[in-house]
């Protein structure tokens, strides 16, 4: 069996999905789970590291294109969630579309809590906005969706 791994990244809030990306089927959109997933080369750090930690986060590296930057910065501003899934499948059975029998080997669900980058790539940090320790009210990122447009002096 020749094994391939495909990654799917969905950015959403509630029942509204803002973006669906997949990183395996180059330069094509594929249909998986009844939805269209467009191609975007990305790499997720930490999902298969084998470390079991509470409050751990994952970094997703994407190309710094205009479209990606708009989606990621909007997700950070609006405190949107991101779901990352990693599937394994047999490439001998076909490589042009997602297989119905592909197996989910890892998944991660977190809020977009940070963004950094360079001229060529952007790193989106997925994690929890809740404080991992302490009895105080957990810190929360105030977004324009929560408090409205801030006053500018």
Supply the CATH number for residue 16's domain: 2.30.110
**Residue 132 in tokens:** 């991992």
Q: What is the pLDDT of residues 25-49, one digit of tens each?
A: 888 899 888 899 999 999 987 665 5
Residue 20 CB coordination number (10 Å)? 20
* Average pLDDT of the residues of the chain: 82
Interatomic CA distance for residues 108 and 127, integer angstroms: 9
25 in a domain, yes or no?
yes
Question: Mean pLDDT throughout 96-107?
Answer: 82
153 in a domain, yes or no?
no
- Beta strand pairing call for 35-39 and 16-22: parallel
8 in a domain, yes or no?
yes
pLDDT for 124: 94
With contact defined as beta carbons under 8 Å apart, do 71 and 64 qualify?
no
Q: What is the pLDDT of residues 70-82, one digit of tens each?
A: 999 999 999 999 9
**Domain hosting residue 16, numbered range:** 3-147
152 in a domain, yes or no?
no
58 in a domain, yes or no?
yes
Interatomic CA distance for residues 91 and 74, integer angstroms: 36
Q: What is the pLDDT of residues 113-135, one digit of tens each?
A: 999 988 999 999 998 766 555 54
Residue 73 CB partners (closer than 8 Å, separation 6+): 115
44 in a domain, yes or no?
yes
Q: Is the pLDDT of residue 99 over 70?
A: yes
60 in a domain, yes or no?
yes
| Count of domains forming the chain | 1
Interatomic CA distance for residues 123 and 101, integer angstroms: 31
Q: Is the pLDDT of residue 148 over 80?
A: no
């Amino acid at each position: 069996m020749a094994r391939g791994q495909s990654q799917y990244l969905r950015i959403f809030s509630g029942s509204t999905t803002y973006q669906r990306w997949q990183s395996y089927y180059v330069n094509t959109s594929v249909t998986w789970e009844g939805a269209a997933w467009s191609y975007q080369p990305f790499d997720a750090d930490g999902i298969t590291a084998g470390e079991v930690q509470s409050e751990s986060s994952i970094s997703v590296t994407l190309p710094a294109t205009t479209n990606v930057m708009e989606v990621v910065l909007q997700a950070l501003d609006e405190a949107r969630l991101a779901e990352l899934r990693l599937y394994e499948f047999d490439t001998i059975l076909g490589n042009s579309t997602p297989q119905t029998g592909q197996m989910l080997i890892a998944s991660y669900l977190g809020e977009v809590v940070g963004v950094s980058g360079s001229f060529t790539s952007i790193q989106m940090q997925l994690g929890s906005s809740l404080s991992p320790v302490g009895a105080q009210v957990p810190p929360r990122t105030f977004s324009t969706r929560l408090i409205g447009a801030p006053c500018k002096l």
